[in-house]
Amino acid sequence: MSEKINFEGEFQQFNPTEKKPRSIVRNILVIVLYFILTEVLAIVASISFSGVKSFLVTYSSEEIIASDCQEKLNVIGVASSFSENSAYVLYEYHNFAIIIHKDNELNHLNDAELSIFFDKILAGEKIDIYMIEYASNIKYLLTTNEAMYQEIAPLEDFSPLFLNITNLVIFILTAIPVVILLKSDWILDLKFYKENKRQSTFRYLNGFLITIAATIAIGLLTELLTSILHLNVPISDNQASINEMAQGGLGLFIMIISACIVAPILEELVFRKAIFNLIKNAKLAILLSTIIFGAIHLISEIMSGNWISLLINSISYFGMGFVLAYVYHKNKKNIIINIMVHATYNLVGLLLPLIFSLLPF
């Protein structure tokens, strides 16, 4: 009672008027760094290694068309010759070899029905037609009837393994400053998780189940929309890139590290922690987080102007962005829980196709 305590001095370090500006700058810097570093590092890697032959692979015209046929069920490849491949079926038509994916309904038509179908295409029905060699009359028909055609030439590009490693390095280099800048935030969340392990584990499992339920609902909605509108929409460029890079043992291993460890840490800190730190209104924070998260995963569709593909695939990415933002908000903004949910979701998404491919049926 006889000791005089300077309460103002004791609590000066917690003065919100001094803490708030630093917090705003720190979180803005995190978001800006993410976009700048990922783009700059990707450009630097592309320029630096573009001439290194060991990092490059040449795709033949046939391989490019075969890849398109696997991703877009409405694609028809037209060429003078094709090597045998179990992924597609070859047909002879008007002195051309026509490649059709085995899952395409065209594969079940007889020769007469196929002839009628292709005559309709050449009469003006719009469909992606890829041609390596074509006669002048075919080109004339395609041009005058506004059907889409494209001459495919062999392409030299970075190998999937190189892209896999490069993406991992870019994520790590971007994550380092982000983790440092938000150190006080994630350490506090980690401490809370450890002190309330049972409750936090329940919240994590609940959040994961919500993402799985949302994925099923999004899939059903997408199928319904494409069925109603009679659309054949390819998988997103982002997912196609992941599928390509995950091929093979080493590629899959690197992809697991990238997509299931580094990316969830980086993306959750940027798109959930930093955005929610900046915007105190929960609804607005969820909306902004959803929009930005969805947009960065659809950048290829946005840049290419493929609006149909963008419309359909945006349901998945914007939907998942909303779910992750919602889970973060409902779990008292504990970023550790969201990182675990995001990582588990990505791991399941990578391993399920591999498991199904190994099944005997």
Res 16: pLDDT: 43
Which of 141, 100, 104 shows the shortest CA–CA distance to 119?
Answer: 141
Q: Are residues 189 and 92 in the same domain?
A: no
Cα dihedral 133→138→139→145 (10° resolution) = -150
Q: Are residues 187 and 260 in the same domain?
A: yes
Bin 110: left if φ > 0, else alpha if -120 < ψ < 50, else beta.
Answer: beta
Res 261: pLDDT: 95
Model pTM score: 0.73
What's the number of domains the chain is made of? 2
1 occurs within a structural domain: no
Domain stop point among 153, 173, 194: 153
Res 154: pLDDT: 76
264 alpha-carbon distance from chain centroid: 13
Res 314: pLDDT: 85
CA 335, CA 332: separation in Å to the nearest integer?
Answer: 9
DSSP state of 101: E
The answer to whether 74 and 104 have CB atoms below 8 angstroms apart is: yes
Q: Are residues 273 and 243 in the same domain?
A: yes
Domain stop point among 95, 130, 153: 153
CA 132, CA 239: separation in Å to the nearest integer?
Answer: 26
Q: Are residues 106 and 137 in the same domain?
A: yes
Res 349: pLDDT: 86
The answer to whether 277 and 23 have CB atoms below 8 angstroms apart is: yes
Domain stop point among 109, 128, 153: 153
310 occurs within a structural domain: yes
CA 124, CA 151: separation in Å to the nearest integer?
Answer: 18
Res 66: pLDDT: 65
The answer to whether 88 and 66 have CB atoms below 8 angstroms apart is: yes
Which of 170, 138, 160 shows the shortest CA–CA distance to 151?
Answer: 138
- Its domain, for residue 276, covers 7-54+159-358
2 occurs within a structural domain: no
Q: Are residues 223 and 317 in the same domain?
A: yes
CA 283, CA 151: separation in Å to the nearest integer?
Answer: 48
Tell me the pLDDT of the chain (361 aa) as tens digits.
566 655 555 544 444 443 444 588 999 999 999 999 999 999 999 999 888 888 888 877 767 766 665 555 455 666 555 555 545 565 555 555 566 655 555 666 676 776 776 676 666 565 556 655 444 444 544 444 444 555 667 788 888 888 889 999 999 999 999 999 999 999 999 999 999 999 999 999 999 999 999 999 998 888 887 777 665 555 545 555 555 555 557 878 888 899 999 999 999 999 999 999 999 899 999 999 999 998 888 776 666 556 666 777 788 889 999 999 999 999 999 999 999 999 999 999 888 877 776 666 5
Structure tokens at 99: 């490649």
Q: Is 167 exposed, middle or buried (0-12, 13-18, 19+ CB in 10 A)?
A: buried
Q: Are residues 191 and 305 in the same domain?
A: yes
Q: In terms of DSSP H, where are the helices of the chain?
A: 7-10, 16-49, 61-71, 111-122, 136-144, 160-181, 183-195, 197-228, 237-245, 249-257, 263-268, 275-278, 282-296, 299-304, 307-330, 335-358
Q: Are residues 134 and 181 in the same domain?
A: no
137 occurs within a structural domain: yes
The answer to whether 27 and 124 have CB atoms below 8 angstroms apart is: no
Q: Are residues 196 and 282 in the same domain?
A: yes
116 occurs within a structural domain: yes
